[in-house]
Amino acid sequence: MSQKAVTVVSGLPRSGTSLMMKMLESGGMEVLIDNVRQVDEDNPQGYYEFEKVKQIKEDQAWLEDARGKVVKMVSALLKHLPGDHAYKVIFMRRKMEEILASQKRMLVRREEPTDKASDEAMAAWFHKHLKKVEAWLASQPNIDVIYVSYNETLEDPVQQAKRVNQFLGNALDEEKMVGVVDPTLYRQRR
């Protein structure tokens, strides 16, 4: 197993993963991003994505470059993380109704259909998915995980920055992490 862990920020789409990536970067952690997906109205501070992550099932060579860094990965892809690396997963959680509202708002801005599935159906699917992902994470001996609430991060960024920093070995600047939390970007409150 690789010496340095790969840190992964994960969660459902629209759950606060970009905020956590920005906090980690500001705190002094090197981020693995490519800026292919540009800043827009839905993520005015950036998406913090690395396109190769989407091909992890077929291509895992990039993970070697991710050691000692942080990369963002949607929760559905976690199951493709190979067992020959150590991982520290920061899994973002957010109130389900806010995730659904945020996704719907993003689809409206992009002029895409919002009626493919009802909120109830999407919520049920997401809850089932989260149960499976959390059970899988708990069964992986090479993965340490911390669950962080997006809502609590906005309410008390100091406490959440402290928790994350402790989880990652106390090498980050918590004050700088807290400094990038912008409550004005919390738009889909429920």
Q: Does a structural domain hold residue 36? A: yes
Residue 75 within a domain: yes
Mean confidence (pLDDT) of the chain: 87
Number of C-beta neighbours around residue 17 at 10 A: 28
Q: 101 or 178: which carries more pLDDT confidence?
A: 178
Confirm whether 190 is domain-assigned.
no
Count up the domains in the chain and report the number: 1
Sheet containing strand 70-74, edge to edge, reads 70-74, 6-11, 87-93, 143-149
Q: Where are the beta strands (DSSP E) in 32-149?
A: 70-74, 87-93, 143-149
The average pLDDT across 87-112 equals 81
- Evaluate whether residue 1 is within a structural domain: no
Residue type for 32, please? L
pTM of this prediction?
Answer: 0.88
Residue 143 lies in domain: 6-185
Is the residue at 127 inside a domain? yes
Q: List all residues 6 or more positions away from 127 whose beta carbon is below 8 Å from its beta carbon.
A: 96
Q: Could you tell me if residue 96 is inside a domain?
A: yes
Answer whether residue 62 is part of any domain.
yes
Mean pLDDT for the stretch of residues 159-185: 93
**pLDDT at position 57 over 90:** yes
Check which CATH number belongs to the domain holding 62 and give it.
3.40.50.300
Residue 189 above 50 pLDDT?
no
Instruction: Tell me the pLDDT band of 48, cut-offs 50, 70 and 90.
Output: confident
